[in-house]
Structure 1
């Protein structure tokens, strides 16, 4: 485990941020904040830069500004990964398990494939996982001790989780609901109403962390989450029934049962899912429950941080739920384990019942798998046969995790045609940004070289909703380059004011010239995917 953690840390230093979403909005928004000297909203073609919760990017921005480069951007998720592992072992201890099982918890948390892949990148699922598991930990401590300190940390953890990623609302809802029920029960049982007052303080802290963001979002679109109705509908199920819920659970589960995007295993899983849906009378192509009319498939690249399955952890979780259910029926589970069991069940139901299925849901489920680790440990502790089987699986678990790290799809230590893109640790740093989109590298190199040569400041941008902006501004932490989105025709166009433009970079490079602000800008580069106009 120590070797893997060291490899992940080195991976994050050797490679720059190069995940697709990072190039469009995780790092792209940071370039705008730095250029604007403000985190206020601004006109943009990529609306996700505004409405997505910003905490992880705040942390990355401060580190990059201090170092005047992005060489340590990937370490943010890495250190939150370490914090998550420590917190998971602490929750395991709260369930009454000793050091041996706490060590098992650390191994399970440290070998989750999706977390291993993300821990060397700049997405935010590991960061939000940390805040969700710490909120759970401090909620448990608050109930046991009824000390204000634990309530404060529970509220702050939950608040920072909501400030990090929207999925925190789904995962924290069961935790906060059960927390409130237990506090109310304790207040009535012990006639001690400090449980209520402390809980209220916890809620105030949760809100206070997010009030500035809520206010800014509401002013922008009359919605505290920053989403207009059209945008919100793209993520949430349009309808729901028992059959559709079962469909969602099966589809999400199948993402962890196929460990390759080709081969017999993927074929078997896909066929089984299609047959089950035929029996249910539910269409796998139903756009009301699938994101963006996305066709169903369980096939996933096993070392891609966007889609990697967690097969061994999924099997262990499923087996643990069965073992614990049998123990629950026999009335052999302590209250803390029952509450965590119910929490996991509710999180599964909330996630599948609310969010439209997406092929990259595996990465959004990192918090769920992390929080389930203490349950797996408890199931191992009460079932001898399960414990023996687990010890047999451990070497496979460790070897699989090590392979995932070494063959990381876009940040590999070892390059292969089957699992990784054609990039290596020896590839020039700027070229590494394009591991997921290598065919555009030459065009970006031509445009950025021209930008440096001209010594510019305000760079006008005409982009689509998913274009890579950040590779144009990798030096924004030490140079005056400022992204200015122009010819914006969405709801963000009212958030800024007209600015002088030195040159324009357009991702629609067919035109020989572009008219903007009473000036005509002529194409300066012979490029295909983007072009510079002056």
Structure 2
């Protein structure tokens, strides 16, 4: 390597080293606190452990029963093997972070990229804000990305070796991905395109022979992994593989209604997500960067209003309405690609059109199809940056264009300087993503304390500060091994109520779709929201801060505690 190359790779390696130290320290020194985990994912693991199985169980949040059970099956093992250490819930995500990055190197090697180009491409993946954010959380999407990157690698390995063993590994990986999360269907069409390309690129076997083995391999994956995970149970209980009607209409294509409306609103979503991607996520955690972006976006807002496109004004087929000026909590907690897309991916696509390549064209088509499918198959949601981890995997081969240009051509000094600045910006963006993450601040920032200086309840409820006092009072009053009946609603955090040692027994008496049930005789306490159960004069009002408005995504319920003995 020459001096320029050594400088570039040194910056990348040092950034990743600092990033890794921060990741590990945050993982093992702060509890999980993601919204979905507090209401559903981690909460249901404790319910399953409480009842001794993962059989049908209706909790307060519909995800407890309807969400595929393979993810909690992965999370529960490190939790149990560590002696109920909640920090280990994050290990599958951190492991997937490294898997995606190393597998990206493998994909580029299978595609014939040179050593420096594939090393550069895989190191850039390390620095993508959405992957970094998911690596320290307990959300599901980075795990799905790990399965997808394995599938892509196995397809390419089959193309290069023409060994059928890779087809069967591919089928099993496909089954694992589909068993993990229904959003894997977003990759069905992109993967079909790559599958068809693999049939074209492997001339050793007759096409019917390849189709037969692809079918058998995927059938095995479905039988071994998809069938037991919960889709069949959902169909039996709710007449739909995803779950009850509220789930299908809230987060799926059914919310659009007619096909004509789906085409209109889905097209709007394509434009909305395109604008979301064209942001300096990570860097915009610094107010000065966001202020400059707001000046540029003011022109876009005027264009939207002038042509009556309805990106902001139309709220049909949206979970949370689109805004050009994305709320801080959204771009801070669910960033997308940031400067990587603007400074590396877009230039790589321009180079592709000047020097087209069939294989890379297939991957570009897969990226576009995944992006479009995301827009049409579900309502717009500003939290969907995490879904685009899978989109990124399809575009990884394009990093080779930039790397080849700077490492194997003879760029001028000005070009080298701009490339150096690009790497600095991407590195700074990566460190800002984790260093200024509102849900797990490693340092005091934004007028808030570091996650390490908070007590457990404060850390668990950092995204819902209006409930912190109520949950702290609950923790002070209720013994660690008490039996507690819960009269809560779908959005209520139940995970903190299990206690630090997870010795409490929780019994939901307002299960999803079932209505309020009788309080069981074994319950010693009743924790409830006043909207579910009318409080008595003798009940203890726990102190929800109902007047708190700043930074509140969903207002808290007014919580009470009743002693039942």
What TM-score range do you get, normalising by the shorter chain? 0.7 to 0.9
Residue 506 (1) aligns with residue 523 (2): no
| Match 1:38 to one of 38, 53, 60 | 53
| Structure 1, unaligned runs of 5 or more | 515-521
The partner residue of 2:138 within 122, 125, 128 is 122
- SS for the counterpart of 1:286 is coil
Give how far 1:120 is off: 0.9
Whether the aligned pair in 1 keeps the contact of 2:485 and 2:519 (CA below 8 Å) is no
Spell out, residue by residue over 1:5-52, the C-alpha distance to the aligned partner (whole angstroms, 9 max, x if none): 122011111110012222111212222112121212222221122222
Whole-angstrom CA distance in 2 between matches of 1:400 and 1:378 = 22
> Which range moved further: 253-262 or 436-445?
253-262
- 1:89-168 equivalences under 5 Å are 89-168=105-184
**CA 1:512–1:263: 2 relative to 1, 3 Å:** same
Offset from partner CA, 1:381-410 (integer Å, 9 cap, x none): 258569844444112211221122222211
Paired with 1:492 and 1:375, the residues of 2 have a C-alpha distance of 52
Contact in 1 for aligned 2:312/2:322 (Cα 8 Å): yes
- Cα distance in 2 for partners of 1:412, 1:506 equals 31
Give me the whole-angstrom Cα distance separating, in 2, the residues matched to 1:423 and 1:484. Answer: 33
Equivalent residues in 2 for 1:346-357 (5 A)?
346-357=369-380
| Contact 1:136–1:175 (8 Å) recurs in 2 | no
Residue matched to 2:268: 247
Q: Equivalences for 1:11-410 in 2 at 5 Å?
A: 11-67=26-82, 68-170=84-186, 172-182=187-197, 185=200, 190-191=205-206, 193-208=208-223, 209-212=225-228, 213-228=230-245, 231-232=248-249, 234-236=251-253, 237-238=256-257, 239-240=260-261, 244-256=265-277, 257=279, 259=284, 263-269=291-297, 271-273=299-301, 275-276=303-304, 278-279=306-307, 281-282=309-310, 284-291=312-319, 294-301=321-328, 306-315=333-342, 316-328=344-356, 333=357, 335-381=358-404, 388=416, 389-410=418-439
Match of 1:464 in 2: 489
Mapped partners of 2:535, 2:371: distance in 1: 53
Distance in 1 (CA, whole Å) between partners of 2:291 and 2:310 is 26
Contact 2:71 2:140 in 1 (8 A): yes
Higher RCO (Cα < 8 Å, 6 or more apart): 1
Q: Report if the CA contact (8 A) 1:505-1:531 is conserved.
A: yes
Matches of 1:486 and 1:28, distance apart in 2: 15
| Residue 183 of structure 1: how far off its partner (Å) | 5.3
Q: SS at the partner of 1:435?
A: coil
| Alpha-carbon distance between aligned partners in 1 of 2:451 and 2:501, rounded to the nearest angstrom | 25
Superposition misfits of 4+ residues, deviation over 6 angstroms: 186-189, 496-499
Q: Report if aligned partners of 1:187, 1:196 keep a CA contact under 8 Å in 2.
A: no
Once the 2 structures are TM-superposed, how far is the Cα of residue 440 of structure 1 from its aligned partner?
Answer: 1.9
Equivalent position SS for 1:290? coil
When normalised by structure 2's length, the TM-score is 0.82
Query: Residue 428 of structure 1 corresponds to which residue in structure 2?
Result: 455
Contact (CA 8 Å) 1:250, 1:273: kept in 2 or not?
A: no
Counterpart secondary structure, 1:140: helix
* Structure-2 change in CA distance of 1:150 and 1:270 (3 Å): farther
Counterparts of 2:450 and 2:427 in 1: how far apart (Å)? 25
Contact between 1:303 and 1:407, CA under 8 Å: does it hold in 2? no
For the residue of structure 1 that corresponds to 2:479, the secondary structure is helix
- The alpha carbon displacement at 1:162 in A equals 1.9
Deviation (angstroms), 1:227: 4.3
Aligned-partner Cα distance in 2 for 1:133–1:227 = 31
| 1:519 equivalent in structure 2 | none
C-alpha separation in 1, matches of 2:79 and 2:559:
26
TM-score (normalised: structure 1): 0.87
Equivalent residues of 1:112, 1:313 under 8 A apart: yes
SS in 1 for 2:506: strand
Q: Secondary structure at the match of 2:353?
A: helix
CA distance in 1, matches of 2:370, 2:493: 33
SS of the residue 1:467 aligns to = coil
In structure 2, which of residues 493, 498, 510 is the aligned counterpart of residue 473 of structure 1?
498
Displacement of 1:79 = 1.1
Structure 1 residues 138 and 343, CA gap change in structure 2 (3 angstroms): same
**Cα gap change, 1:214/1:302 in structure 2, threshold over 3 Å: closer, same or farther?**
closer
8 Å Cα contact 2:97-2:131 kept in structure 1: yes
Aligned residues: 513
Instruction: Please say if residues 84 and 133 of structure 1, whose CA atoms lie closer than 8 Å, have aligned partners that are also in contact.
Output: yes
Cα distance between partner residues in 1 of 2:495 and 2:478: 14
CA contact (8 A) 1:446 1:525 kept: no
Q: Distance in 2 between matches of 1:430 and 1:39?
A: 27
Paired residue for 1:413? 442
* Distance (whole Å) between structure 2 residues aligned to residue 282 and residue 93 of structure 1: 44
**Which is further off, 440-449 or 192-201?**
192-201
* Closer, same or farther: CA 492–78 of 1 in aligned 2, 3 Å: farther
